[in-house]
Structure 1
């Protein structure tokens, strides 16, 4: 059986483990004729303006007449002789250069606007590149100059290699582009006030783009003259994927060809964070655009109300066709009884193991590809929907696919009400992992651990002895599970590619949180350390710059306004997040949304199980500041992520001024002592209500939750501890 995604033409190029960085987007290989090209395009620009935006010879946009689709005539003229300096050039120089190009083309026996497979002189094509060369001009671009360095043709073989022209404004391509490119944010509605609309020459230029798109198999949506239709959107959200695996050096441990593909033809955010490192609260933030203390999604049991208006609801209201498959998990009432009771009783003075010991399990053989069957079924549903329904839609669509991988699997060996502490995969996926590149994390001694970290490590059953081989295997199996997740993303990309929708849809890939995978003597999430809080965030599609790495700190609450921005829906002013579109388009602060410039920090908070305190994290610049509870009863942590990326040294005592400054910023965002107190009161109310609902069955039920192995040893002791807590 062929592995999913193996038919990608780009797999071999993108799965290389070489640490050499990709060339920056927009770079070209310089050759002797490059200075001539710059002079020639300057002449073309002058000729364009004199001709009212039209070719002097054909009455068409210059690039449509020959610049983008065939450069042989003008390039031959440049090869024949070097034009004089543009500063000393007489007014008719532009016409003379074009006439020279036409004459050279006529001498060869072909018109210069006919297609020529040879590339411009400044390009050195790869040996595997197809014989067809195009330069795709940006919307609003007047000339076809400054195309990117040729590379493997994007998306699939057999299609003309489309080259992006980054000279001006946004890259619409043969699909659609974002609101921020094609309409004015100041209320012009895109009719002349924006960057792309309101100009007759550009409308004719758009027609040429559509013709080019038709040649590449795309099916552009109809739109009003001068106005680009909103893009379709595909969001794939997985569970527990460490965002550091999407860039160097983390990406050296496992082959992730689909993620690499999105990096090559899109943008990766290097510092994206969850707003709460646990499933339901994190997803509630992503679907609401609000911080956790505003949604009051305190644990995996408490999320959004079922009738909460999400970004998908608004997009559907504004004409989008919407479709969801797989894991959602942002509303209240889900997850096990153990999960919620452990969260409610976190302030009780006892210490109980609540998870099975983390372990690995190898299943099947080298032909076993579909290990996580439920995720594959949902992926198949999404693929079929793209191929059978999305391709026939006349309106833009938004598709959401939620995956459970690479979340650890349940551990039934742990007995009744077991947790999920098993890292399971097959040899097929394990072979994608480079064992030599796996880093064995350093651990502090139990006596030196922060008190909250010790509580987490103990309740996660990680305070025992682990050999180096055990730790390496847990991490290797986790990376293999990430590889399987990547293949599902690849299936979605393949389906979009096969239907011609890939060039017209914005594709976003992210996760609800990360996975510690034995860093800091823990597995799972529920921590503000990088492995748990750092999430992947990659964006690819019309208007998104290729091979771009954005260092700004962002978080999942930014998904909500970004979705609305893509759909050109007014963004509510009360959201916690900010649209990512200005970052994707490199806009200045004066061009950002009315909500103002993006802050230089992100906030994450946690109030659930396996942690005996509310936790608040502020990430800004090189600093990560972590405050607990009321800010006094538990010592804070401060990490310099530049000097200490593994977060092994708490420098809070060393830099008291930094701590005070960051704590002041944190308190300006959220009154965290008050929020912590509210969570404590909520936990007691919920536990009392649950206890009363059980009646005489209370003692039996609470004894057989996930902590049963410890609880049953001293049942009366633990019940008394709870009674004392309720009486406080």
Structure 2
């Protein structure tokens, strides 16, 4: 919690569909993210950060409310955030903060976004579905009055410049700024990843993550552009930090960089996300500023749903009882006792599914009899996959049918049922997969609990 009498400013720098392994601190060798990497090393790096649902709207609902998407009601895209939702913006506004949202929203019924569907933000310069209202060099967003505003420059820079203008004009009052980009998400109407001019060429034929190298998908078509977009995002992040430094706001501003979900480049299904594989669910995340400078690398598993309560506690504000997430601020002080050993994930649109991930294991179930666009949950699920992330970090070998892993599946099944009960208030039935002999494979009881 902040000890200063001056409340800290808070900025969320939010990318869309960015994999964790685009960053240097996670082993990417292409120097795409020097500014993020520097913050992760000097501030607090969430080494294991995950979305709670790998699709835009539900993930954003969780980040605005600190609740899982099924609790909020936004279990798929196209469902507006409830007007009475207790949001992080409303919490900061009630504490005297100026609140601003710039960029992509994806939690409303239409564009321009009605005021009742803006989550309680005072200043508004955004589009509900930015990929539909804009192109890479034609950024159209809507202001508080619902008027279209054309911002100059490549879309990443256009939004960053708008954010810097907001910061410069709101120095006298503590502010909470949510800056939400579309990049490195694809441009839907073209199914392309349009980097700034000259950027994609730098990365053609360069390093690719092993899961993508093994499975292919659309990676050879899209990865170079994707990397170019990530590079420009990091440059823009550096410009934002420079602006804070020049205005002497850097030391009293909490800055968070993260993303709504990752991207598997059509390797796990016929599009880019909506699966519980690492490429979809693991995201980059780091913080700096009061409460987080020198916080080190946190190795506990953290979810997007934990971010709102964390930021509120770091600003010295109360955490609403409605929030299901947990503040991880204590982890920066080394207070790890009682922190959950797993993260819980929900899946919609592709299928109705649930999953749980520990440091070593990932276990998932699905409900093939349910409509993933109409049904938010199921009373019955079937086992779908079990991955050993210690020996198979790229999830190339599904062990759910292996007799050697039956005990692991049993332990993970109970973990998942407990999570569903805690989050959704229900305890469904899970139908075990058929087990088959698995040769020399063998898992001990101790390993099953890892």
- The TM-score, its normalising length taken from structure 2, stands at 0.76
Per the alignment, residue 578 of structure 1 pairs with 326
1:492-641 map, 5 Å:
492-520=240-268, 522-546=270-294, 548-587=296-335, 589=337, 597-608=338-349, 611=350, 613-629=351-367, 634-641=382-389
Q: How far apart, CA to CA, are the structure 2 residues paired with 1:248 and 1:519?
A: 24
Q: Tell me if the contact between 2:417 and 2:427 (Cα under 8 Å) persists in the aligned partners.
A: no
| CA displacement at 1:442 relative to structure 2 | 5.2
Per the alignment, residue 409 of structure 1 pairs with 187
Matched residue of 2:299: which SS? strand
* Higher relative contact order structure (alpha carbons within 8 Å, sequence separation ≥ 6): 2
Q: Note closer, same or farther for the CA distance 1:633–1:280 as it changes in structure 2 (3 Å cut).
A: closer
Q: Note closer, same or farther for the CA distance 1:631–1:479 as it changes in structure 2 (3 Å cut).
A: farther
Q: Tell me if the contact between 1:284 and 1:295 (Cα under 8 Å) persists in the aligned partners.
A: yes
| CA displacement at 1:508 relative to structure 2 | 0.3
> Of the two, which has the highest radius of gyration?
1
Matched residue of 1:670: which SS? helix
CA deviations on 1:647-681 (whole Å, 9 max, x unpaired) are 0111122311111221112112215896999xxxx
| CA displacement at 1:374 relative to structure 2 | 3.7
Per the alignment, residue 115 of structure 2 pairs with none
Q: How far apart, CA to CA, are the structure 2 residues paired with 1:676 and 1:404?
A: 36
Q: How far apart, CA to CA, are the structure 1 residues paired with 2:39 and 2:195?
A: 24
Q: How far apart, CA to CA, are the structure 2 residues paired with 1:486 and 1:384?
A: 19
| CA displacement at 1:376 relative to structure 2 | 2.7
Per the alignment, residue 397 of structure 1 pairs with 175
| CA displacement at 1:404 relative to structure 2 | 0.7
Matched residue of 2:220: which SS? helix
Per the alignment, residue 242 of structure 1 pairs with 19
Per the alignment, residue 19 of structure 1 pairs with none
Q: How far apart, CA to CA, are the structure 2 residues paired with 1:618 and 1:430?
A: 35
Q: How far apart, CA to CA, are the structure 2 residues paired with 1:676 and 1:442?
A: 37
| CA displacement at 1:584 relative to structure 2 | 2.2
Q: Note closer, same or farther for the CA distance 1:581–1:259 as it changes in structure 2 (3 Å cut).
A: same
Q: Tell me if the contact between 2:201 and 2:224 (Cα under 8 Å) persists in the aligned partners.
A: no
CA deviations on 1:292-311 (whole Å, 9 max, x unpaired) are 22122221011421332211
Q: Tell me if the contact between 2:255 and 2:288 (Cα under 8 Å) persists in the aligned partners.
A: yes
Q: How far apart, CA to CA, are the structure 2 residues paired with 1:676 and 1:626?
A: 14
When structure 1 is superposed on structure 2, of 510-519 and 622-631 the one drifting more is 622-631
Q: Tell me if the contact between 1:321 and 1:397 (Cα under 8 Å) persists in the aligned partners.
A: yes
Matched residue of 2:400: which SS? coil
CA deviations on 1:245-271 (whole Å, 9 max, x unpaired) are 235554213421221221232122111
Q: Tell me if the contact between 2:12 and 2:255 (Cα under 8 Å) persists in the aligned partners.
A: yes
Matched residue of 1:528: which SS? coil
Q: How far apart, CA to CA, are the structure 2 residues paired with 1:443 and 1:632?
A: 33
Q: How far apart, CA to CA, are the structure 2 residues paired with 1:521 and 1:665?
A: 26
Pair 1:668-2:418 in alignment: yes
1:240-279 map, 5 Å:
240-279=17-56
Q: How far apart, CA to CA, are the structure 1 residues paired with 2:8 and 2:357?
A: 32
CA deviations on 1:537-570 (whole Å, 9 max, x unpaired) are 1101123243822111101111110121022122
Q: Tell me if the contact between 2:86 and 2:322 (Cα under 8 Å) persists in the aligned partners.
A: no
Unaligned 5+ segments in structure 1 are: 1-177, 183-226, 336-361, 364-369, 413-420, 445-465, 590-596, 678-728
Q: How far apart, CA to CA, are the structure 2 residues paired with 1:293 and 1:318?
A: 28
Matched residue of 1:251: which SS? coil
| CA displacement at 1:477 relative to structure 2 | 1.6
Q: Tell me if the contact between 1:390 and 1:397 (Cα under 8 Å) persists in the aligned partners.
A: yes
Aligned length in residues: 379
Q: Tell me if the contact between 1:255 and 1:433 (Cα under 8 Å) persists in the aligned partners.
A: no
| CA displacement at 1:521 relative to structure 2 | 6.3
Q: Tell me if the contact between 1:475 and 1:518 (Cα under 8 Å) persists in the aligned partners.
A: no
Q: Tell me if the contact between 2:363 and 2:412 (Cα under 8 Å) persists in the aligned partners.
A: yes
Q: How far apart, CA to CA, are the structure 1 residues paired with 2:11 and 2:291?
A: 15
CA deviations on 1:208-260 (whole Å, 9 max, x unpaired) are xxxxxxxxxxxxxxxxxxx5433111111111111222355542134212212
Matched residue of 2:188: which SS? coil
Q: Note closer, same or farther for the CA distance 1:371–1:636 as it changes in structure 2 (3 Å cut).
A: farther
Q: How far apart, CA to CA, are the structure 2 residues paired with 1:371 and 1:334?
A: 20
1:681-720 map, 5 Å:
none
Q: How far apart, CA to CA, are the structure 2 residues paired with 1:483 and 1:523?
A: 23
Counterpart among 374, 384, 395 of residue 165 in structure 2: 384
Matched residue of 1:283: which SS? helix
RMSD: 3.0
- Normalized per residue, the structure richer in helix is 1
1:22-37 map, 5 Å:
none
- Normalized per residue, the structure richer in strand is 2
- The TM-score, its normalising length taken from structure 1, stands at 0.48
Q: Note closer, same or farther for the CA distance 1:522–1:251 as it changes in structure 2 (3 Å cut).
A: farther
Q: Tell me if the contact between 2:196 and 2:232 (Cα under 8 Å) persists in the aligned partners.
A: no
Q: Note closer, same or farther for the CA distance 1:268–1:258 as it changes in structure 2 (3 Å cut).
A: same
